[in-house]
Chain A
Amino acid sequence: MTRPFSVFCLLCLPAIAGEIRFNRDIRPIFTKHCTACHGGVKEAGEISLIYRDRALGEGKSGEKAIVPGKPDESELMRRIVSKDPDEVMPKPKHGPPLPEKEIAIIRQWIQEGAEWEELWSFIPPREESPPALKQKDWQRSPMDAWVLSNLENKGLAPSPEAGKAEWLRRVSLDLIGLPPTPEEWAAFRDDNSANAHEKVVDRLLASPHFGERWAVMWMDLARYSDTMGFEKDPARTVWPYRDWLIRAFNSDMPFDQFTTKQLAGDLMPSPAPDDFIATAFHRNTMNNTEGGTDDEEYRIAAVMDRINTTWTTWQATTFSCVQCHSHPYDPYPHDVYYRFMAFFDNTEDCDLNNDYPSTKVANDPARQADVTRLEKEIDVLRDQINQEGLAVAKTITDYQVWKSTAAKASAATGGIAQQPDGLFLSSGTNPTNSSYTLTFPAHSFAAIRLDILPLSDDPKTWSGLAAVCGDFHVWLVLPDGTRQRINLKEVIADAIVGPFDPNEAIRGGGPGFGDYPAQRGPRWCVFVPEQPVVAPEGSQLEISLFHAISCNADNQPSILKKFKLSFSNNPALQAFVASPGRAQRWAQHGALKGQYNGIPGAMIPVMKERSAAGTRDTRVYIRGNRSTWDQSVQPGIPEIVRPPKKEGRLSRIDMAQWLMSETNPLTARVLANRLWAELFGIGIVETLEDFGTSGTPPSNQPLLDHLALRLQKQHKWHIKPFLRELVLSATYRQQSKATPALIEKDPRNQNLTRGPRQRLTAEMVRDQTLLISGLLSRKQFGPAVFPPQPEGIWKSVYSGAKWTTSQGEDRYRRGVYTYSKRTSGYPAFLTFDAPSRDVCSPRRLGSNTPLQALVTLNDPAFIEMAQAFAKRMTTAGTELPSQIMQGYQWLTLQEAPPAVIDALLRLHADATAEYAKQPAEMKKLGATPEEAALVLVANTMFNLDSALNR
């Protein structure tokens, strides 16, 4: 009976000696018990415990939930202690009442003034002076002080320094994704100089393989894939972006440039050719080529994916929550999602099957600058040509609407009719390959203006299907019935915007003038005849407007539903387009295109901003639904993450610069944490993808903040010197051996009581095995390769794509170059936890499954490598024990303990005996029983735990 009594007494005391801290003591209580109803999604009783002003303000009842300093006047206190089931919070159906201890903590917090703190991650990191340490001689890198101080505070101690072999293999796999060669090991082993470790690290950082290892990390975030995804999952050429990444990491491009180029390279003042390739980062979104899909729907899906990926990658924020409602735990109101969407809503890509827009990557790198220059010149000139025409077109003000005598839709199911005000309105269903034929009493004319209008005048409804004019033909029908085709010379558009050239409407090629993939407002253009048309008395004009070609090779109708045709006899525009000067401009344009087309290369998708005239009116989607629009918004950044102070409309480049600005509280921490996790296996914030209230708090915030500032300030966003400090630190150099005592005190090594020990990544498993077996090709860059994979893995619907195994050295390239198909990833990689990269994958969750064993034991690719490894071992000496001993050392750098050699020798002996009895089986692996047995030993060695870990 004494025990409950003493517990009760404890509760009478103040809950926590000393001051209550909101983030440490109060926020977790709110998150656990309250914010489900009083948060961002629901604000029951008009109380939200996420925003300070709404928590300290008046609720619906008129009572103040929290009155600083006065718990007894605070409605919140009254409700959490109430015994009345109608009053008590949380409501009985939502959960049990708060424990006495938590009530006491809240009371004390209000008593002490209800000091509010934003979540730790919203407060910018501050450099604190290094902590005082008891153990003075341990530290090697500045960060070690923060690690050791934490250990000392917890009564823990670091582990001894790792042996040379352990550290070298770890650092080598961590920095370049490959284990050291025997020569590299020997050099380090025999180097007794004081800076031997530094020399190794500098060699690794300078290795061309450095970028191949770190690109993989980024490719998971960038959802890099060699296919487009969804049903047919067709191939996408985007490997130059992967090569760009490898080169960027190799050249230690500072992370601020790395960021700006990928998010807004196309908008930089004078972008280099590579800057366009970098923007493929956000063109790795999926593209749905399935028949009958709505391209606007999947354009928006891609835009939203860009928002979510940007926030996950740079801000570790679960921003996707805000698509449908305000964030449930963190202070992000609903509309900021769409303000942020406005940064990405104005690119030209629209889920076209050809991945438009793209840039050409010249086969000959020397021509790349020409490509970039020509692409720009062609675009600029095309726009200028139109602008020049437009200037003349605007001088024509005497357009007349003619009254049609007949209006016919080709489809029996559809209709078209002219209204009294001259507008044509469609009715019924006019399918893609149908046309309208409109007949007018003819007057002479020299210009025809087409206005394509949205069905309603209310901009909130401008989210419907596209409206694109395909072929536009004009005939003059003379009184005697003769039909004269009127040749049209040009289409002058209100703006050159969207994926199609307006002139296509008179060339009978593809879709021409209109708004695609959704009609987002009124559009107009002028069709200009080669000659002014003189219409004899009694003649008629017939216009056929054909929607012949569907816009995306499938069946999405882009029908004109409401439009107006008007005519002018003012010859100014006709004279202008027929002038020699105009012809010269077009010749110039043609010449540029000729030069451009003459440069062979691969087209890769890139970001391309729409012209100012094509700026989309981004609106808030009510409850995240793209067909219910609310108010119009301008590009913007949530207040809590400290947006830049700037007049005027913010651009994608402003957004990228905000991410990398000194005031952004998250970017440096998120990156430092990610790099840390790559080396130490677990982030200081374990949820690499979530630094919000719902993520895990940092296990050592001073350490994280120190690292973040170090990366941002000292190293000026250079990753190599940052990693250098980490891998040379005393923390990283500890041995990884875990004793039961260590596991008891620091089970997951979050305190760094020992060195990291991580399983190899999917790519490392392959790369190491290739290297050790002597098969590895060190060839870099270029199109993806197809190493052996079992038959029958690729079975996409409506797709003839085949996996054709690469020949020659391409069979043995590093994993980063393996073809990555979204709906059917490389099996050995998927089994070792590589993501399919459908969407941004911020963290690989490691698994340890029997299927992994089947891969490394049985995958024919691994058997091929085991055969090569066995052969290589026989070069290491004449005696089997020394061969195996050497093989083990190549694989692990360690001297094999005699028991290990014994076990492998016994296996070899047993296998030799068995193969001697079964020569047919033997021949499948080797020429002699001993040889076959050694292959089996090699196969076994690949599966050793010490080989699969680093």
Chain B
Amino acid sequence: MFPHLQLEHLTRRHFLSNCSMGLGSMWLASQGLSWGASSAIKKDPTQPLLPDLPHFAPKAKRVIYMHMAGSPSQLELFDHKPELLKLDGKECPQEFLAGKQFAFIQGVPRMLSSRFPFHQAGESGHWISDRLPHIESVIDELCIVKSMYTDQFNHAPAQLLVHTGSPQLGWPSAGSWATYGLGSENQNLPGFIVMTSGGVNPDAGKSVWGSGFLPSVYQGVQCRSQGEPVLFLQNPEGVSQSLRRRTLDALSDINAKIAQEVGDPETVTRIAQYEMAYRMQIHASDAFDIMQEPESVHKAYNTQPDKESFANNCLLARRLAERGVRYIQLFDWGWDSHGTGPQTDLRQGFVDKCKEIDQPIAALLKDLRQRGLLDETLVIWSGEFGRTPMRENRGGVEMRHVGRDHNPGAYTLWMAGGGVKAGYSHGETDPIGYEAMIDKVSAHDLHATMLHLLGFDHEKFTYPHQGAMHRLSNITKGGTKVVKSLIS
């Protein structure tokens, strides 16, 4: 009935019987120092993703991070600023410009109020604009942080900061830290999966899900919602799954002989990895097959099967969360609303982008809630910085389209599920939404808080590199703190 599973079972037995000479433990002894002499976390690389326990009882088991790459305007979505309405169209006062660096604004721009009306919604009374009616229906699940800020005003470094705690390349991403620390609950899928939509990768490229100086096995695996989900997952043309099984049997057989001949513990690891690759072929294909979902689910998420879409990725995120994947990162590109053309006009492209994400995000939150997964899944939504309360005037002139420039001073992030306070709004920006003013939260604070929710003390969860014990919350930044008030 299930030939794959049967073969799988047979092979595992075969594998164990051939390799029961304790090579795994031999390996451990041999690798005692290789992954960082003073690291408290010891990994068995035959199974580097085995689940591990954190420092204390976690509130969240996994993370779904939805990054709106390019950075959506907080002023059009969550950060209601009536004062800005009064200033709309007026020249920006000098005090807002002094000492500021902009990417594109020049001269004295004009103030720009929200293009869309706001209202309070739900029992929480969260403010929200009219662009996200579906998210509004789950608004009481959200814990909204309006006082996020950063010190980077270009996309690539700002995205790196959000995900690695450093604006430079070469640092491990939050997902790789989480997977390194916690392993994964599913040994047949990568523990850290990344999916993109919007046609391009994030500005900082694959470094935002890189493993930096952590072992490369903890880097995010980019999976695709179109074509084969994992690169080279599918058997080559002309190789059926049963023939693949047959080749792996021959391979395991021969490799086990080689292992006995050469005695290299890495050979044993390799045999295990080939078996996992095989399981991954089956389980990843299964996990990524959204056509298994009933029509009602597709409708709820508004999916577009066989296309790359954010909605598909949301549905996949749920399927992966169900399967115990530790860290799921979605990037949706197209939020860089400068107003240089219709695509980046707040009244046009931005409106379309809102439509693209609104229904799927609401569906994901409801779906997770319904399946009892939301309480153990930390869902995060953000950009990499905010947008200016002034209208962009590239080259110092008024542009045909309406947009906003990059603003590191303030942006909005929200979380839901996994141990955060639902219905709570944290922090405030100044009256025009330009700078975070009250209860400011940095990316480092966010990382400390995420790690806390996953059960780690961010100061103790470290890895030795270049002469220092490094951590996600960036050792060079003082004053980083867990934002306790976000936690339920």
Contact = CB atoms under 8 A, between A and B. Distances in A.
- Mutual binders A and B: yes
Interface in A780-819: 790-793, 795-797
Contacts of B274: 850, 853, 857, 943
Nearest to B231: A827
Contacts of B205: 233, 796, 822-824
Given A853-B277, A924-B238, A795 B201 contact: yes
B258 interface: yes
Interface in B410-450: none
**A230, A430, A740, A852 — most chain B CB neighbours (10 Å):** A230
Contacts of A925: 236-239
Given A694-B464, A797-B203, A850 B246 contact: no
B396 interface: yes
Given A324-B476, A911-B246, A945 B232 contact: no
Contact of B262 (A288, A301, A318, A736): A736
A329 interface: yes
Interface in B199-220: 199-207, 210, 215-217
B250 interface: yes
Contacts of B196: 795
A220 interface: no
B26 to A, nearest CB: 5
B4 to A, nearest CB: 16
A344 B226 CA distance: 47
Interface string B222-233: 001011001111
Counting chain A residues whose Cβ lies within 8 A of the other chain, the interface size class is 35 or more
Nearest to A320: B466
B39 interface: no
A696 B253 CA distance: 38
B170 A433 contact: no
Interface stretch (B82-90, B96-104, B360-368): B96-104
A240 interface: no
B29 A432 contact: no
B263 interface: yes
A80 B156 CA distance: 48
A557 B169 contact: no
Contact of B215 (A320, A696, A847): A847
Contacts of A686: 33
A914 B243 contact: yes
Contacts of B206: 823-825, 836
A907 interface: yes
Contacts of A432: 106, 395-396
Contacts of B235: 857-858
Interface in A593-646: none
A43 interface: no
A738 interface: yes
Interface string A127-157: 0000000000000000000000000000000
A292 B464 CA distance: 35
B231 A939 contact: no
A428 B155 contact: no
Contacts of B236: 857-858, 860, 863, 924-925, 939
B238 A932 contact: yes
Contacts of B232: 790, 827, 851, 854-855, 857-859
B352 to A, nearest CB: 18
Given A412-B107, A412-B108, A858-B234, A229 B169 contact: yes
A376 interface: no
A896 B263 CA distance: 17
B234 to A, nearest CB: 6
Contacts of B224: 792
**B217, B236, B244 — most chain A CB neighbours (10 Å):** B236
B315 interface: no
Contact of A940 (B238, B250, B273, B466): B250
A850 B272 CA distance: 8
A692 B246 contact: no
A849 B217 contact: yes
Counting chain B residues whose Cβ lies within 8 A of the other chain, the interface size class is 35 or more
A321 B104 contact: no
A907 B242 CA distance: 12
Interface stretch (A270-278, A491-499, A650-658, A742-750): A742-750
Contacts of A428: 94, 107-108
Contact of B216 (A743, A845, A853, A935): A845
B207 A796 contact: no
Interface string A901-925: 0011011001100100010011111
Nearest to B199: A795
A940 B249 CA distance: 10
B333 interface: yes
B479 interface: no
B246 A910 contact: yes
B333 A797 contact: yes
Q: Dominant SS at the A interface? A: loop
B240 A921 contact: yes
Given A290-B154, A924-B237, A948 B263 contact: no
B157 to A, nearest CB: 8
Contact of A742 (B240, B263, B267, B273): B263
A299 B487 CA distance: 42
B300 interface: no
Contact of B106 (A290, A555, A863, A910): A555
A848 interface: yes
B231 A839 contact: no
B467 A914 contact: no
Contacts of A318: 466-468
A396 interface: no
Nearest to B275: A850
B266 interface: yes
Contact of B243 (A301, A430, A911): A911
A747 B27 CA distance: 8
B264 interface: yes
A922 B237 CA distance: 9
A944 B258 contact: yes
A911 B97 CA distance: 72
Contact of A757 (B264, B271, B280): B264
Nearest to A682: B34
A746 B486 CA distance: 51
**A430, A433, A824, A850 — most chain B CB neighbours (10 Å):** A850
Contacts of A910: 243, 246
**A433, A825, A836, A857 — most chain B CB neighbours (10 Å):** A857
Contacts of A897: 257
A414 B393 CA distance: 14
A696 to B, nearest CB: 7
A247 B274 CA distance: 39
Nearest to B109: A413
A430 B406 CA distance: 19
B262 A899 contact: no
A226 interface: no
A743 B29 CA distance: 9
A193 interface: no
A230 B156 contact: yes
Interface string B126-170: 000000000000000000000000000111100000000000111
A330 B467 CA distance: 10
A257 interface: no
A822 B270 CA distance: 28
16 contacts: A301-B168, A318-B466, A413-B106, A555-B103, A689-B466, A747-B31, A838-B169, A839-B170, A851-B232, A852-B273, A854-B231, A858-B233, A858-B236, A907-B247, A911-B247, A940-B247
Q: Which 8 A-B pairs have the closest CB atoms?
A: A823-B205, A292-B103, A924-B238, A431-B106, A431-B396, A413-B108, A413-B107, A747-B30
Interface of B: 21, 26, 29-34, 37, 45, 48, 91, 94, 97, 101-104, 106-108, 153-156, 168-170, 190, 196, 199-207, 210, 215-217, 221, 224, 226-227, 230-240, 242-244, 246-247, 249-251, 253-255, 257-259, 261-267, 269-271, 273-274, 276-277, 280-281, 333, 394-396, 406, 464, 466-468, 476
